[in-house]
Structure 1
Amino acid sequence: MSNPVPIRRLTPHGLPLAVVALLIGVTPALSQAPAPGRYSMQKTDTGIARLDTQTGEVTLCQEKAGDLVCRMAADERTAYDLELDLLEKRVETLEKVVKDAPEGFSPRLPTQEEIDQTMGIMDRMLRSFMGIARDFGREWQGEEKTPPASDPDGDLRKT
Structure 2
Amino acid sequence: MRAEEGLPDNENGRYTLSLVTGGVMRLDTRTGAVSSCTNSEQGWACYVVPDERAAFDAEIGRLQAENQKLKARLAEHDSTVTGKIDEPLPKSDPLNKAEPKVADGARKIEIPLPSDQDVDRVMSFLERAWRRLMEMANRVQKDVSGKI
Shared fold by TM > 0.5? no
TM-score by length of 2: 0.31
Structure richer in helix, relative to its length = 1
Query: RCO greater where, 1 or 2, for CA within 8 Å and sep 6 or more?
Result: 1
Q: TM-score, normalised by structure 1?
A: 0.30
